[in-house]
Amino acid sequence: MATPLPIFDEREGPRDECGVFGIYAPGHEVARLAYFGLYALQHRGQESAGIASAGGDGYIITQRALGLVSQVFKEHDLRALGGDLAIGHVRYSTTGSNEWENSQPIHRSAGMGGNRRELALAHNGNLINAVELHASLREQGIGFSSTSDSEIIAALLATHPAETMDEAIADVVPRLQGAYSTVVMTKDRVYAFRDPAGVRPLVLGKLEDRWCVASESCALDIIGAEYLREVRPGECVSFGAEGFTSEMIVEGARPAFCVFEHIYFARPDSRVRDTVLQVIRGRMGEILAREAPVPSADLVIAVPDSGSTAARGFARASGLLQDDGFVKNRYVARTFIQPGQELRKHGLRLKFNPLPEIVAGRRLVVVDDSIVRGNTTRQIVEMLRSAGALEVHLRISAPPVRHPCHYGIDMHTREEMIAHGRTVDEIAQELGADSVAYLSLAGVYEAIGAPREQHCDACFSGEYPLEGTEEAQGKFAFEAVLPMAAPGS
Ligand code: SF4
């Protein structure tokens, strides 16, 4: 049966992607460490969570279910998942009748479905050649139990005829096109590899003399591990009883790290290239104030929490006062109870409650980090006006989102995007705001302090950096009939 989605998503911009975690640490409670690693990565996916562990008895045990990390695992589950190594996954998924099947880690047992080796796999990203790979595996009679492109990677590795996992990875990874930050475990070793463009993040850490990997450094912080470095684009690291190895599997690709990780996806306390994102997001707000000042304004407020850091930067740079214009209910995202006719008219108040004592009679700058469809933003403007705001000037610390992402983010369709086919003035009119301004792409890269040539910004620019994306776009039309190509891992 299809699982009902919450009536409000925690973050209403682009849908989050996924988070992955892996650890080898005999003598530690690895499943518990994976649990807390995933807990720190919860913002990357709230629909399902899973952990696989192994050690001692030589079997991989997997537990995964729909729900938040704290809902999926209870104390006795973590005890049952003991062992020396573990991997984990949190996922954002689209609706569907087989959502549980699409939760991860994917577990392929030896001797079943054409498998030659047992493994568990967790993936963040989206393959753009999933249709071809899937067709070729099916031709070989290889079976699938899910409709996620992540199982294609798992199937390629589990069924590969090579003697060792290292050889299988070296042969399979160059055949994958798209975005893939992937963690795989056998019963005695963890492998982590990243696509040659490095679209999605993956970092390496150390817990005492043991190793771990995670989508973001905040997951290392929570378990007391030391952040060492990023897993390099095209690199595969592995660790287990035999020690640590690193090998470059694919080299020479144009780097294309997702610029939206800086703006929105990653947690503000995570590091990208050694800089904490909180600092970068503050700079985005400062540059936005320089690029799009509001001389008539007398107060800066944030859309909490997504716009909070940029709002502080905007206020700092403009010399304007800053205050909280809303109180946010942080728990509303997970209510499955529909509000009913009586409460429906209050709409977003379930999530944001404006403070008339702060906003009435003021000319407001309202800062948020992105607008995709604009439905939430329109209601926010309405709420502020009915709370007595004199003017509402929206300032967005990202450029307009006009194109879909083919690398693992559900951005809605072009037609649903408020910036699609509209000028900035038309967007302001559509949202009921006095003015709207976005941070320029140049401003984004100034804040990041790294060149555009090393990033993907396709959802803003329409320039897709990975070879094969344009050809693959046509095939996305077939997702409905060939769900194996569905993104969202
Ligand atoms: S299209 Fe946008 S969200 Fe997708 S990888 Fe590129 S920058 Fe990130």
Q: Read off the pLDDT band of 334 (50, 70, 90).
A: very low
Residue 295 CA, ligand 1 centroid: distance in Å: 33
Q: In 3-state terms, what secondary structure has residue 263?
A: helix
Q: Does ligand 1 lie within 6 Å of residue 263's CB atom?
A: no
- The residue that leads in pLDDT, 335 or 176, is 176
Catalytic residues: 18
Q: Is the pLDDT of residue 115 over 90?
A: no
Q: Whose CA is nearest to atom 8 of ligand 1?
A: 258
CB-CB contact of 86 with 34 (8 Å): yes
| CB-CB contact of 366 with 325 (8 Å) | yes
Whether 258 is in the pocket of ligand 1, judged by its Cβ within 6 Å, is yes
Query: Do residues 397 and 439 lie in contact, with contact meaning Cβ atoms separated by under 8 Å?
Result: yes
409 lines ligand 1 (CB under 6 A): yes
pLDDT greater than 50 at residue 481? no
Q: Whose CA is nearest to atom 5 of ligand 1?
A: 258
| Structural tokens at position 421 | 């086919």
Q: What is the pLDDT of residue 69?
A: 94
- How many Cα neighbours within 13 Å face the side chain of 359? 29
Nearest CA to ligand 1 atom 2: 459
Q: Decide which of 484 and 282 is more confident.
A: 282
- pTM comes to 0.91
145 pLDDT band (50/70/90 cuts)?
confident
Kindly report the CA angle at 395 between 394 and 399, in degrees rounded to 5? 120
Higher local confidence (pLDDT), 475 or 289: 289
User: Which residue segments constitute the domains of the chain, with CATH numbers given?
Assistant: 18-256+479-485 (3.60.20.10), 277-449 (3.40.50.2020)
CA nearest ligand 1 atom 7, residue: 457
Percent of the chain whose pLDDT exceeds 90: 70
- What number is the average pLDDT over the span 110-130? 90
Q: Where are the alpha helices (DSSP H) in 319-400?
A: 340-344, 356-359, 375-386
Beta bridge partners of 394: 366, 436
Q: Is any atom of ligand 1 closer than 6 Å to the C-beta of 17? A: no
> Tens digits of per-residue pLDDT, 211-269?
999 999 999 999 999 999 999 999 999 999 999 999 999 998 999 999 999 999 999 99
- Please choose from 180, 181, 260, 370 the residue to mutate so as to test ligand 1's pocket, defined by most ligand atoms within 8 A of CB: 260
Quick one: pLDDT at residue 338?
55
Ligand 1 atom showing the smallest separation from residue 465 Cα: 6
**Atom of ligand 1 minimally distant from the CA of 404:** 1
State yes or no: pLDDT of 6 exceeds 90: no
Q: Pick the atom of ligand 1 nearest to 403's CA.
A: 1
Q: Is 459 in the pocket of ligand 1 (CB under 6 A)?
A: yes
Residue 473 confidence (pLDDT): 59
The protein residue whose alpha carbon is closest to atom 4 in ligand 1 is 405
Residue 164's identity, in one-letter code, is: T
Any atom of ligand 1 within 6 Å of the Cβ of 256: no
If one compares 95 and 294, the residue with the highest pLDDT of the two is 294
